[in-house]
Amino acid sequence: MKKQIFGETDGIRVKVGATPLRPGEPTILAKAARKNGFDKRKILFGRDTRLSGRWIVEDLKAAFDEADVVDCGVLPTPAIAKIMDDYENAGAFMVTASHNPATDNGIKVFEKGTKIPDETELAIERDFLKDQPKDVDEKAVEREIETLNAKSKKFDSDAALMENYAQKAADALGRATFRGTGRKIVLDSASGAGFEFSRGVFERFDIEVEQIDDAPTGLNINEDCGALHPEHLAQKTKELNLMGLALDGDADRCVLADEEGRIWNGDRIVVLLAEYLKEKGELAGNGVVLTEYSNLATVQYLESKGIRVLKVVNGDKAVSDLCKKEGFTLGGEAAGHILYQPWLDSSDGTFMALFVMGILQEKQARLADLWSDYNDKPSIQVPVMVTEKRPIEEIAGFPEAIAAIEQKMAGDGRVFVRYSGTENKMRILIEYTEAKQAQEWGEELAAIVRKELE
């Protein structure tokens, strides 16, 4: 069955005021969750810094007995997933739209520290849709949301939860603090869930923090900052000769910038961690899981170091599933979702930065000193709007054109084509040593698709 409310990779994410994020509807959704395994001893609730977050949490909580509720306030998605370890038989709702703008929000649902499976999402949808209000006055909904949002301008994080998370991270990394190292970090939290929480965790590791994002207003999350715009962080790290971390709105992504102003995306960070773990004899399965959007140069570099690389199409959930299947513990996406499964089954930007800083401490190095000696291949993406999602092999002349391009590449590039999971769009990705030629090939393939499918 096709999902109608939950997305393919990352829970629910919609514009506030659309189903199921109209006032009252999150309660119906939470009741549907109760019918499908979430009638548990403790249910945790967290949120990022969007104005709509507080009332959505209150709506969700209304479906549960007060004694069963733990309100964690503003904290990163991975922090609530990790804190679940403290409760037997717990579930969690994280209210966030991750890297989306402040006009959107969403709900991620967890059990046993990981996102719920597709079959549970479908069961929750089925019961929600059965009880969802059918006649809705959209203007009245807008007015109610405006009123509710006006009451939601506090974004404090819980100091005890910071302490709890920091201790778990210290235990996992095998080092209690960075005391005496003089470590400093530049932090851009995207004015999101990590604004106070992640800073507080670093400070509990005796790491000095230079923060560059503005204070959250409820309306500025991800706005020209954070993991979506790491160039601002890179400019600052070069200026201050420091390492920096850019998070997204719910702080599960990790994008780094080094002392020379170079941006380390998820691919680069996975390479660093893979080489370190292999050197220590701790790279499980001698391999990593990446996605099809990882740069070909990254794959070739890892394979040249004797490290196996497996790929999934997209999504950290798919990365996690393949890691478990193959016995790997490390994987990630170029966008900054990085999984280290001895810590969590999902990605955690704050922990990954601590992991990297621990490596730097051990090696007495700057981040810039560990930049791996390879250059990304030029990569272009050409999106094409389509009227139907015909199987790619049935588009006249298209498979033959791809084969001809790949033959000309002679192993120095690749073509990757897929349809969007949410839009009537095909995405054509070309990587090759020469950007101009890659662009020409991309446009050539796009012209065939437009002729056949527009």
Based on C-alpha coordinates, what's the Rg of the chain? 22
Q: Is residue 357 part of a domain?
A: no
- Alpha carbon distance 286, 121 (integer Å): 33
Which candidate in 98, 189, 191, 198 is catalytic?
A: 98
pLDDT digits (tens, 9 = 90+) for 69-119: 999 999 999 999 999 989 988 999 999 999 999 999 999 999 887 888 889
Q: Compute the distance between CA of residue 301 and CA of residue 268 in angstroms, rounded to an integer.
A: 11
pLDDT at 143: 92
Identify whether 246 is part of a domain: yes
pLDDT of 454 reads 81
Whether 299 contacts 276, CB under 8 Å: no
**Average confidence (pLDDT) over 120-144:** 90
- List pLDDT tens digits, range 291-308: 999 999 999 999 999 999
pLDDT for position 137: 83
Provide, rounded to the nearest whole percent, the portion of the chain with pLDDT above 70. 98
Whole-number pLDDT of residue 315: 79
Q: Which residues pair with 340 in a beta bridge?
A: 330
d(CA 146, CA 231): 34
Same domain, 163 and 144: no
pTM of the entire structure? 0.92
Q: What is the pLDDT of residue 37?
A: 87
d(Cα 53, Cα 193) in Å, to the nearest integer? 11
- Number of domains, the chain: 4
pLDDT band for position 178 (cuts 50, 70, 90): low
How far apart CA 323 and CA 308 sit, in angstroms, is: 12
Do 146 and 20 lie in one domain? The reply is yes
Does 280 fall in a domain?
yes
pLDDT of residue 8: 73
At 252, which CATH number? 3.40.120.10
**Is 60 found in the same domain as 134?**
yes
Q: Which position has the higher pLDDT, 318 or 262?
A: 262
The whole-chain average pLDDT of the chain stands at: 93
Q: 363 lies in a domain?
A: no
Is 152 part of the annotated catalytic residue set? Answer: no
Question: Residue 200 pLDDT > 90, yes or no?
Answer: yes
Q: Is residue 32 located within the same domain as residue 144?
A: yes
* Whether pLDDT at 176 is above 60: no
- In a 13 Å sphere around the CA of 326, the CA atoms on its Cβ side amount to 23
Mean pLDDT of 392-400: 95
Judgement on whether residues 163 and 257 belong to the same structural domain of the protein: yes
The residue out of 261, 278, 293 marking a domain boundary is 261
Going by C-alpha positions, the residue among 189, 391, 429, 155 that lies closest to residue 296 is 429
Whether residue 270 is found in the same domain as residue 253: no
Q: What is the pLDDT of residue 3?
A: 87
* Helix, strand, coil in percent for the chain, rounding step 5: 40, 20, 40
From 88, 145, 84, select the one nearest 109 (Cα to Cα).
Answer: 84
Q: Are residues 144 and 170 in the same domain?
A: no
pLDDT over 70 at 47, yes or no: yes
Q: Do 173 and 209 fall within a single domain?
A: yes
pLDDT category at 380 given cuts 50, 70, 90 is very high
Predicted confidence at residue 423, as pLDDT, reads 78
Q: Distance between CA atoms of 309 and 300, rounded to whole angstroms?
A: 9
For residue 356, what pLDDT is reported? 96
CA distance 345 to 200: 23
Question: Residue range 358-369: average pLDDT?
Answer: 93
pLDDT band at 181 (very low <50, low <70, confident <90, very high): low
pLDDT band at 136 (very low <50, low <70, confident <90, very high): confident
Confidence of residue 179 (pLDDT cuts 50, 70, 90): low
Answer yes or no: is 69 within a domain: yes
Residue 5 lies in a domain: no
Q: What is the CATH number of the domain that holds 400?
A: 3.30.310.50
For the segment 323-342, the average pLDDT, to the nearest whole number, is 96
Last residue of a domain, one of 229, 261, 293: 261
Looking at 115, 150, 185, which one is the last position of a domain? 150
* Residue 364 located in a structural domain: no
- Residues 16, 142 within the same domain: yes
Same-domain check for residues 395 and 342: no
Q: Select from 354, 345, 317, 344 the least CA-distant residue to 333.
A: 317
The answer to whether residue 193 scores a pLDDT higher than 90 is yes
Q: How would residue 310 be classed by pLDDT, with cut points 50, 70 and 90?
A: very high
State the average pLDDT over residues 14-32. Answer: 96
Same structural domain, 142 and 199 = no
Q: Which residue has the higher pLDDT, 315 or 320?
A: 320
User: Is residue 248 included in any domain, yes or no?
Assistant: yes
Q: Which pLDDT band, with edges at 50, 70 and 90, does 388 fall under?
A: very high
Range of the domain at 428: 379-453
Same domain, yes or no: 206 and 146: no
